[in-house]
Amino acid sequence: MKHRTLRMQLNTFFSGPQAWFFLADERGYLRDEGLAIEFTVGDTAANTIPKMAAHAGPGGFDVGYGDINALIEHAAAGKPNAPLAVFASYNASPYTIAVPLKSTGSGTVYGPMQLAGKRLVAHPNDAALNLFAEFCAKTGLDPATVSIDISSAPHSELVLAMLAGQWDGLFGFVNTVLAASLDAGLAAPREHLRFIEYHDHLPELYGMALMVNRTLVVREPHTVQALLRALNRGLVDTVADPQAAINALAAYSNKVPGKPAMNIASNLRRLQGTLELEMGRPEGAVLGIGDLDDARFAAGIALIVDTKKYPHRPQPADLFSRAFLPPLSERVQTLAQP
C-alpha cells in the first residue's frame, strides 16, 4: 500500500516532548491512516513558522510543531503563508527565565522586578526571549534596565556558566532547562535554580501547537483529520506509558547517521515534566488536549499585538481550527492539575 508522506518541521532536535509523534509512528497509527511522516529537526519553536511559510508550496513542509505565539506574530505582522494551528498541545506556556536559586554577586532574583540591572542570556530567536516585551508589559519591568546576550552554546553549558556568575538569568523552556541541567551534571536542578515562569504572569498565553500548511487544509482536509487521529493516539499511549514513547523516540533518533546515542533519562524527564506542566492546566479536563479557549487565545493575541504595535489583529479563527480534532472522548483529559 502506498502511503501519503508528509514533511514535518520539528521545533528542535529530537527530544522527549516530541515522543508522542514517534510512538504513533512505531505503533503503526500513521500507517493505519495511510500516512508516513518525514521528520526534519529544527532549531527553535519560534522558527518553525517562518520555515513553514518559506516552504509553503510543493516540496515544502506540510506539518510543523512550533510556538503558537510566533504564529500570532507572523500573522499580525502581515507576513504571508502563515500555517494553521490544528492541535494545541500545550495549555500552559512553557517559557521561563531561570535564575540562580542562591545569591550571586549581583543579588538574589526572586521575581520579575529583581531582573532590573541584570544580564541575561538566550539562544537566537528563543521563544521566551521573543515574548520578553510582553513579559515586561505585564509585570512592570523596564526592559531597558536588562542586558541580554545571545549565545548558541548548548543550554547545558549556559546553565553552568550562569551559576558560575557569567549571567544572572537564562531564557528558555522550563523542562528544557531542567533537562539541560541534568545533562550538565546537576543531579537536583531545583536545588540550584529558580524559575520565573511566564504562565504565572501572562496566563493568557498558550504554547506549542501542531500546525499544517493551508494548502493541505484546502486540498486534503481528510489527510489533516487522519494525521490528528494518528498522532492523538500516540499522545494517549504516551500519557499511559511515557517510557515506551521515549524508547520509540530513541529508536528513531539512534538510526540517524552520525548522531550520538540519545540520553534516555534526560529525555524521559523532559517528557514527564511537559505532561505535568505544559499540558497540565485545569482547562485540559474540560477542553481536552488539542483544543483551546477562544477568549483566552484572543487575550493572548491582543497582548502581543498591543505590546509590539503590529498592524493587524488576527482573530482566533484566523490562526486555529478545531475542525480536524478527534472527538473529546478520544483525547487526553487526565493531565489537568488543580
Q: How far apart are CA 237 and CA 16, in angstroms?
A: 14
- Residues contacting residue 141 through CB under 8 Å, at least 6 positions apart: 112, 113, 115, 116, 135
State yes or no: pLDDT of 106 exceeds 90. Answer: no
Q: How far apart are CA 23 and CA 29, in angstroms?
A: 9
Question: Percentage of the chain surpassing pLDDT 90?
Answer: 85
Predicted local distance difference test score (pLDDT) of residue 3:
86
Is 337 contained in some domain? no
Is 155 contained in some domain? yes
Predicted local distance difference test score (pLDDT) of residue 183:
86
Predicted local distance difference test score (pLDDT) of residue 14:
94
Q: Do 192 and 254 fall into the same domain? A: no
Q: Which domain holds residue 251?
A: 4-92+205-330
- Residues contacting residue 59 through CB under 8 Å, at least 6 positions apart: none
Residue 105: pLDDT band with limits 50, 70, 90: low
Name which of 29-43, 61-75, 84-98, 179-193 the model is least confident about. 179-193
Is 336 contained in some domain? no
Q: Do 254 and 315 fall into the same domain? A: yes
pLDDT tens-digit series, residues 11-69: 999 999 999 999 999 999 999 999 999 999 999 898 999 999 997 667 789 999 999 99
Residue 284: pLDDT band with limits 50, 70, 90: very high
Is 338 contained in some domain? no
Q: Do 158 and 274 fall into the same domain? A: no
pTM of the model: 0.93
Q: Do 168 and 314 fall into the same domain? A: no
Q: Do 212 and 309 fall into the same domain? A: yes
Q: What is the mean pLDDT of residues 92-117?
A: 89
Q: Do 146 and 73 fall into the same domain? A: no
Residue 213: pLDDT band with limits 50, 70, 90: very high
Predicted local distance difference test score (pLDDT) of residue 9:
97
Residue where one domain finishes, among candidates 143, 173, 201: 201
Q: What is the mean pLDDT of residues 179-197?
A: 91
Q: What is the mean pLDDT of residues 114-139?
A: 95
Predicted local distance difference test score (pLDDT) of residue 1:
57
Q: How far apart are CA 106 and CA 108, in angstroms?
A: 7
Is 190 contained in some domain? yes
Q: How far apart are CA 49 and CA 47, in angstroms?
A: 5
Q: Do 197 and 220 fall into the same domain? A: no
Residue where one domain finishes, among candidates 201, 218, 248: 201
Is 335 contained in some domain? no
How many structural domains comprise the chain?
2
Most confident range (mean pLDDT) of 2-11, 71-80, 177-186 is 71-80
Q: What is the mean pLDDT of the chain?
A: 94
Q: Do 320 and 238 fall into the same domain? A: yes
Predicted local distance difference test score (pLDDT) of residue 107:
76
Residue 149: pLDDT band with limits 50, 70, 90: very high
Q: How far apart are CA 210 and CA 172, in angstroms?
A: 20
